[in-house]
Amino acid sequence: METVVLVVHLILALCLIGVVLLQRSEGGGLGMGGGGGGVMSGRQAATALAKVTWGLAALFFITSIGLTVIAARNSATGSVMDQGTTSAPAAQTGPQPVPQTQLPAAKDLLPPGQTGGTTAPVGGAADAPATPPRAGN
């Protein structure tokens, strides 16, 4: 069923392209510069090609919606991300990841004889008042 609708959809697309290319150009972008009677103004009598174009466009939209409904029915219940975590990983053909090594502790990086303790700076932020004094007191 899906294949039949897809083939009809592609044939409609090609016919729609052909019919649009056969129509007379009205000049200007989107028919805005073609004078008083354009597709956008609605004053021009519908020609046979315009009627065919509207019919093919309607059928094209119907087959598009039909293909969407068919694809939704055939799809799995989970998302693509869920399917990726449940399946077995494919064999890797590219470069292998580099194994992680354990980094040395910070105390091992200090020169011999030094400890890793911290000291508060002299006259630093601990000695400063929490709020500045008011001017004029």
Q: With the CA atoms of 106, 107, 113 and 119 taken in that order, what torsion angle do they form, in degrees rounded to the nearest 10? A: 70
d(CA 133, CA 137): 8
Task: Look at residue 69 and tell me if it is in a domain.
Answer: yes
Which structural domain, as residue segments, surrounds residue 15?
1-23+47-74
Residue 7 structure tokens: 């083939």
Q: How many domains does the chain have?
A: 1
In the block, tokens 């502790």 appear at 105
Q: Which pLDDT tens digit goes with each residue over 2-12?
A: 899 999 999 99
d(CA 44, CA 34): 11
Instruction: Give the containing element (helix H, strand E) for 5.
Output: helix 2-22
Task: Look at residue 51 and tell me if it is in a domain.
Answer: yes
pLDDT in single tens digits along all 137 residues of the chain: 889 999 999 999 999 999 999 887 776 555 555 555 555 555 455 688 889 999 999 999 999 999 999 988 887 666 667 666 555 556 667 677 766 776 667 667 777 777 666 555 555 555 555 676 677 65
Instruction: Give the containing element (helix H, strand E) for 11.
Output: helix 2-22
